[in-house]
Structure 1
Amino acid sequence: MREEAPRTVTAICRALQEQIECGLLPQGGKLPAERQLAEVFDTTRITLREALGQMEAQGLIYREDRRGWFVSPPRIAYNPLVRSHFHAMVGEQGRVPETEVLSARIVPTPAEMCARLELPALSSVIQIRRARRIDGRLVLYVEHYLNPQVFPGILDFDLTRSLTDLYASHYDIRYGRVAFDMVPTALPAEAASILKVTAGSPALLITRVNRDQHGRVIDCDVEYWRHDAIHVSVEVPD
């Protein structure tokens, strides 16, 4: 029985992948319940979950807590060399973006942010926490850290809109040089709870430190993306 399990897992993965590629299981659609799938494939829930886990790791399906398994929609192309923002990037690819503000306040600056934002010890920073959706699906949890001396009164604005546009229209600030740091990671508990997935689920962590057109460090974004939501695509010009 133990020797048969790997072959069963492979067979389940192959069958589900073929159904997805043929459109019988549509992108964004919900899979049957685990009990039903186990009956279809004449296997145990343990073996079935191993197969589903492998497909999730490949980005073909995803699970939402208390909702079940779904077929992953197409990934969004993410080019860090293009000066854009979430709403523009998603909209230009024919998808529907949405932003929810979770909190916006002035907090003591975390130690690592003091270094990134070039702020002194025991300083304060503006923290904006947001959740973002594509076509209604939660895909991104982001923490923005802003230098309060650069953006006085920004907490009074509508923070569901693009910060990039807000910077330009109300502060005459535009992005200059940007430093990116991208690493695969496991979602920490807070980010996982917001994205409605299990803590430890795979994710892409993108940290971006932004300077303005004058070279000043103005903010830092810490983004937790669902690993199946984007693919990084970069074309370096001649």
Structure 2
Amino acid sequence: MGEEAPRAVTTICRALQEQIEHGLLTSGCKLPSERRLSELFETTRITLREALSQLEAQGLVYREDRRGWFVSPARLAYNPLVTSHFHAMVTEQGRVPATEVLSARLMPATSEVCQLLELPALSSVYQVRRVRRVDGRLVLYVEHYLNPRFFPRILEFDLRRSLTEVYASEYGIFYGRVRFDMVSTALHADAASSLKVAAGSPALRVTRINRDQHGRLIDCDLEYWRHDAIHVSVEVPQTA
């Protein structure tokens, strides 16, 4: 970019940020096309995209492939200490959840899943791949891996439902101790395609390893959240 480009990027960022903060550009609304915005700010598409990329990194706007740019909604509060499922968590915050099943099958467990579920080599697991929306926006790609020993015929059920509810109502299984591992990462191709963003986009990967009320390892989840979709909020009670 030329000498004036960094100044133009700053000007565009400030203008759009001000419009968002004052509610003139509201949560979830679609921005004008890149061509229209570049004309409005009398700049090049390259400079405009640099500005939008900076706002995206701040979590103020987001892009979906083939749909354009949108104003980011408020982040969800995500508390790993609260034993709640996705639909309950979203609904309790006054938002609208939705789940789509991408695939569900019995498959050989990868070495990572064998390790997470403490399974022997060449074990089979149920894999359920889903995407989840908040207020219509794709925010989460998740791969669930279930030990088939505990969930016979689970593929016969409606897997758009909460697995927590399916476990309880169909198998009498409830979550007990849960382990969480969180790490910032880049979206792999399947996750990115499912969330309609570019491969390599930033994300928060949450690995959940779940035991039931009897202490048995029953399943694990590999969650890939859009980087601007949640904030982790934990309050730890004071111990004596």
- Give me the whole-angstrom Cα distance separating, in 2, the residues matched to 1:102 and 1:5: 42
Q: Deviations over 1:82-124 (max 9, x none)?
A: 0000000001011111111111110000011101101100110
1:58 deviates by 0.7
- Give me the whole-angstrom Cα distance separating, in 2, the residues matched to 1:36 and 1:137: 24
Unpaired stretches in structure 2, ≥5 consecutive residues: none
| Aligned residue type for 2:226 | R
Alignment match, 2:215: 215
SS of alignment partner, residue 28 of structure 1: coil
Alignment match, 2:235: 235
Alignment match, 1:111: 111
Most deviating of 217-226 and 168-177: 168-177
Alignment match, 2:27: 27
Alignment match, 2:149: 149
1:2 deviates by 2.1
- Give me the whole-angstrom Cα distance separating, in 1, the residues matched to 2:119 and 2:208: 16
Unpaired stretches in structure 1, ≥5 consecutive residues: none
SS of alignment partner, residue 141 of structure 2: strand
| Aligned residue type for 2:26 | P
| Aligned residue type for 1:147 | N
Alignment match, 1:197: 197
Alignment match, 2:80: 80
- Determine if the alignment matches structure 1 residue 44 to structure 2 residue 18: no
- Give me the whole-angstrom Cα distance separating, in 1, the residues matched to 2:162 and 2:65: 29
Alignment match, 2:10: 10
Q: Deviations over 1:6-58 (max 9, x none)?
A: 12111111110000011111110011111111111111111111000000011
1:172 deviates by 1.3
SS of alignment partner, residue 95 of structure 2: coil
Most deviating of 73-82 and 164-173: 164-173
- Give me the whole-angstrom Cα distance separating, in 2, the residues matched to 1:43 and 1:184: 33
1:3 deviates by 2.2
Q: Deviations over 1:174-213 (max 9, x none)?
A: 1111111111111111111111111111111111000111
- Give me the whole-angstrom Cα distance separating, in 2, the residues matched to 1:34 and 1:101: 32
Q: Deviations over 1:131-178 (max 9, x none)?
A: 111111111110000000011111111111011111111111111111
- Give me the whole-angstrom Cα distance separating, in 1, the residues matched to 2:103 and 2:2: 49
- Paired residues, number: 238
Alignment match, 2:184: 184
Alignment match, 1:53: 53
- Give me the whole-angstrom Cα distance separating, in 2, the residues matched to 1:212 and 1:29: 42
Alignment match, 1:92: 92
> TM-score when scaled to structure 1?
0.98
- Give me the whole-angstrom Cα distance separating, in 2, the residues matched to 1:151 and 1:9: 54
- Percent identity at matched positions? 77
